[in-house]
Structure 1
């Protein structure tokens, strides 16, 4: 055989083997490069099941996490994904107990370095509250993403699969670090501090009314446009906590009776969030009862029922004289969470007010 031909054959064989090795190495590198994402499931509409694909009726939280993951195989191209069932409830039944369980598990996973990011499947009713609680209690700067759906998994036009894919995409993005807890819904990324549910049934229900979304997910890409400067400087360590101080919300309205405030004075309540009219206002009768609550050592926080805007300190209300604090631009349900966590550490009004102005 001609030496030239033989050399060429050996060279071709060598290149072929080298190519196979390179492919294997590339595949190995790609596999190793995939971020590790743990999905913690709590139930909600995203895991809901109904009898008809065209009717609205369904039961939340019926579908377990392994079934949800099998319906979106594309997520495995984005990350090394594993699922864990934390709860199986509709989020109207979300509780402090589940919040603490979630927060402790997330901190444990990150401390063990067993995941690079965490996605939480969650019902939409209280998702904004869970986002705020975790934003204040997760002690690591790794991505935490909450995601849900407005239509159950059995609906013809269900939105859960796409939302879940987007959430994993956000979790896998290197740009998601240091963003705090975020909510991913309807191809938008929202800061967990600011987001709120605004419409009872629409897939576009989640909005940040004061500031808008911080990013979007479209065509396989995650794009961020701004980051809140109000992410918490202080975190609350709940790793050994089993309960939180009781804080209740009272809704303000024209000709409101003080009976609800007076009733709370007979309980073990430690804080009251008043969802007031306009700039957190109240009528004279309710104001007197709230003042009595403050004198008894109950922390009264003024918030608003309007859905956006901020409560100004020492405006129409003499907060200093009455001993009140204001929730700044947090809505009542988010104000309640920050007040509960603050009361876990202090009853000093100045320190609590400082927490509201820093978060």
Structure 2
């Protein structure tokens, strides 16, 4: 039985079109279908090692990503992971929130029986030198990659960004608003590369820190309609911070707060009483460092057991917000 690579489209710059190809900075995202993107790339079926299938999940600028699209992606991935005709999954996505979508899928899917690879572009599809076609072809190649024993090479959610770099969903972060190499995994570095000699991982296995194997079907059964997901916001600790921002969110019914702390988990003294009041009213409060590299001393991956504690988590604030949502929903282990 010949297997296929399934490409799920969500829009983004990779599907965008500029009014003037010589000025690609001015464009409209999410203009081309994922099928049209794939059809225009020479050799993409060879990269897939077989056939391709394309499905449009959403057609949005990723700055507008929301829980309804995440749920639709999770459902599509779950179905494909249980489909013996699918060898791997590729998701086209905008760069702005790619790291958040990758983390959501990572948290809900756990260790994978087949690859789930996200990819993106910094230039629209009709730029004079677009980066999307190569990124998409590399992602398809990575999704189809197999070890010497014939097993899927990638067993966690990853992303293919500029230059053929492979990044783990845990560490991936957009770090630049313009350059083609816009993503980094900080001091952890890329976990591998896609090139002419195949897919090469830095280590024999993708980096650790994986959640326990998850059953997306069971996870989805625990997820309510997107409009009923818990409201979790990010509060930044900065010079001149004021606790009234926390009080206002609590008064409006926020259910969780992630504090983007300074340095090694420190919080401005003006915020501390307000955060204590929030906790006393049942609001879950987690801390994550606003530093781009490193993590708060002693912090680990988030768990549901941390809901009632002053927990420090070793992921960035944007991913911590997602994990806190999932913890409040009872999905996070």
Higher relative contact order (CA 8 A, sep 6+): 2
Q: Secondary structure at the match of 1:284?
A: coil
Q: Which has the larger radius of gyration?
A: 1
Q: Does 1:53 align with 2:21?
A: yes
* Long gaps (5+) in structure 2: 300-305
Kept in 2: contact 1:100–1:238 (CA 8 A): no
* Paired position in structure 1 for 2:269: 284
Query: 1:321-357 deviations in whole A, cap 9, x for unaligned?
Result: x9411112x00001111111111118xxxxx8xx6xx
1:146 to 2:118 alignment: yes
Q: Tell me if 1:184 matches 2:144.
A: no
Q: Secondary structure, in 3 states, of the residue corresponding to 1:264? A: helix
Counterparts of 1:54-133 in structure 2, within 5 Å, are: 54-55=22-23, 56-79=25-48, 80-133=51-104
User: 1:141-167 CA deviation, whole Å, 9 max, x = no partner?
Assistant: 210000010000010121000001100
**Structure 1 residues 307 and 63: CA distance shift in structure 2, 3 A:** same
Which of 204, 209, 218 does residue 186 from structure 2 map onto?
209
| 1-structure distance, mates of 2:213, 2:272 | 31
1:255 aligns with 240
Higher helix fraction (1 or 2): 1
Q: State which drifts further: 139-148 or 159-168.
A: 139-148
Equivalent residue, structure 1, for 2:303? none
Measure the CA separation in 1 of the matches of 2:132 and 2:268. 44
Q: Secondary structure at the match of 1:73?
A: coil
Following superposition, the deviation at residue 178 of structure 1 comes to 4.8
1:76 and 1:283 map into 2 onto residues whose CA distance is: 54
Q: Distance in 2 between matches of 1:289 and 1:312?
A: 23
**Alpha-carbon distance change, 274 to 234 in structure 1, aligned in 2, over 3 angstroms:** farther
Matched, 1:135 2:135: no
Aligned match of 1:270 in 255, 278, 285? 255
**1:143-182, aligned counterparts within 5 Å?**
143-175=115-147, 176-182=152-158
Segments of structure 1 that go 5 or more residues without pairing to the other structure are 1-31, 315-319, 347-351
Q: Provide TM-score, normalisation by structure 1.
A: 0.82
Residues in 1 aligned to 2:235 and 2:213: alpha-carbon distance in whole angstroms: 27
Q: How does 1:289-328 map to 2 (within 5 A)?
A: 289-313=274-298, 323-328=309-314
Deviations 1:186-216 (A, max 9, x none): 2100011110000001111111013000000
CA contact (8 A) 2:166 2:193 kept: yes
Q: Secondary structure at the match of 1:282?
A: coil
C-alpha RMSD over aligned residues: 1.9
User: Is 1:233 aligned to residue 212 of structure 2?
Assistant: yes
